[in-house]
């Protein structure tokens, strides 16, 4: 295939991100053979029915055998076990990547499990929806979105370039970043907003029944947005918070301090303070729109 970047690509886990990546790879002809590996039998049936991959299997050995690129698209808590399982199965020169939201963990859990004859290039596409499963994916999910690569110092540059080329080919803007820096940035841009959404929706659930029913009935756009975010996969987000705890706790402390300041301003009628804070926030929203990330 003229557009193929890899002869054989195996994706482990065909949920929203994994299936979207698979769809994009097939749409752009970036792999000679695309293999979907999923331990869940109903998911494998759905993958086969939708013809999302050239091969579908629940057998790791069969799936990663002779693969040029293996992508982990499973919860980050599975990385250490998966790394140990696939390590003896990977051919020399194979590239291993992932799509997880916490990158320090990849270097700590996955890297030590892999043999020296393979190349690890961690990645994180900044894209997603609240839906999950093979049927939730779509090929255009990554178009115009950032994908952050966090290779360790000394990683083979040809392997990094190959992963960069893959994400670029499916429409992503690619940037490299230190893993620790990535985790701090994502703690405030993604992880903390999800924590807030889960908390606000949880608060609504704990209200008195008559108020709770009214909250659901008369949900304004703000609360609807929070419920959309809070509908995200609970296993994935549990793992993210547990594995990026230091960065999340640091950002949560900063948020707590800012909330206390706002609480005081409301209590004492400090309108100028509130107006200044809201104006700053509005400017950030405009920046997000101008960056085409809205």
* Percentage of the chain lying above the pLDDT 70 cut: 96
Q: Nearest 5°: CA angle at 230, between 228 and 234?
A: 130
Q: 30 or 243: which carries more pLDDT confidence?
A: 30
**Coil, strand, or helix at residue 6?**
strand
pLDDT in tens, 6-19: 999 999 999 999 99
How many angstroms separate the Cα of 120 from the Cα of each of 8, 94, 110?
17, 9, 9
Distance CA 45, CA 2 (A): 30
Distance between CA atoms of residues 268 and 274, nearest Å: 11
| Confidence check: pLDDT of 236 > 50 | yes
Residue 197 · residue 226 · CB < 8 Å: yes
Helices assigned H by DSSP within the chain: 16-27, 41-50, 60-64, 79-86, 104-105, 157-169, 179-186, 192-205, 209-217, 221-230, 234-243, 245-267, 271-290
Residue 80 structure tokens:
């250490």
- 279: number of Cβ within 10 Å: 9
Q: Average of pLDDT values for 23-39? A: 96
Whole-structure pTM value: 0.84
pLDDT, tens only, 246-294? 989 999 999 999 999 999 999 999 999 999 999 988 888 787 777 666 5
Asked whether the predicted pLDDT for residue 129 surpasses 90, the reply is no
Beta bridge partners of 36: 11, 56
* Cα-Cα-Cα-Cα dihedral sign, residues 241, 38, 155, 140: negative
198 vs 131: which has the higher pLDDT: 198
Least confident of 27-41, 112-126, 179-193: 179-193
**Residue 26 Cα distances to 34, 168, 256, angstroms:** 7, 15, 45
Q: Who has greater pLDDT, 221 or 182?
A: 182
Residues of the chain with pLDDT > 90, as a percent, come to: 68
pLDDT on residue 1: 45
The neighbour count for residue 185, using CB atoms within 10 Å, is: 16
With left for phi above 0 and alpha for psi between -120 and 50, is residue 171 left, alpha or beta? left
Mean pLDDT across the stretch 140-161?
96
Q: Which domains does the chain have, with CATH numbers?
A: 6-177 (3.40.50.720), 181-290 (1.10.3660.10)
Mind giving me the DSSP string for 49-94?
HHT--SEEES-HHHHHTT-SEEEE-S-GGGHHHHHHHHGGGPPTT-
| Average pLDDT over every residue of 220-238 | 78
User: What digits encode the pLDDT tens for the residues 67-105?
Assistant: 999 999 999 999 999 999 999 999 999 999 999 999 999
């Amino acid at each position: 295939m003229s557009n193929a970047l890899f002869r054989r690509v195996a994706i482990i886990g065909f949920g929203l991100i994994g299936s979207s990546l698979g769809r994009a790879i097939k749409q752009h002809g970036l792999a000679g053979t695309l293999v979907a590996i999923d331990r869940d039998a109903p998911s494998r049936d759905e993958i086969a029915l939708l013809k999302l991959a050239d091969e579908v299997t629940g057998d790791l050995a069969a799936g990663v055998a002779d693969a040029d690129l293996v992508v982990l698209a499973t919860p980050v808590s599975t990385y250490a076990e998966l790394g140990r399982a696939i390590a003896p199965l990977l051919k020399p020169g194979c590239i291993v990547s992932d799509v997880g939201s916490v990158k320090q963990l990849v270097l700590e859990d996955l890297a030590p499990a892999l043999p020296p004859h393979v190349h690890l290039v961690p990645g994180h596409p900044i894209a997603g929806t609240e839906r999950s499963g093979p049927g939730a994916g779509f090929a255009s999910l990554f178009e115009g979105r950032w994908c952050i690569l966090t290779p360790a110092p000394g990683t083979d540059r040809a392997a990094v370039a190959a992963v960069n080329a893959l994400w670029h080919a499916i429409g992503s803007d690619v940037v490299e970043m230190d893993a620790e820096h990535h985790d701090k940035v994502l703690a405030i841009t993604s992880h903390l907003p999800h924590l807030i959404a889960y908390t606000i929706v949880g608060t609504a659930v704990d209200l008195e029944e008559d108020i709770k029913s009214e909250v659901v009935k008369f949900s304004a756009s703000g609360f609807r947005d929070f419920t959309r975010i809070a509908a995200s996969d609970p296993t994935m987000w549990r793992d993210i918070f547990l594995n990026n705890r230091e960065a999340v706790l640091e950002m949560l402390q900063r948020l707590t301090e800012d909330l206390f300041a706002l609480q005081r301003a409301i209590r004492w009628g400090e309108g100028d303070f509130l107006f200044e804070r809201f104006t700053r926030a509005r400017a950030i929203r405009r920046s997000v729109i101008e960056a085409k990330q809205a």
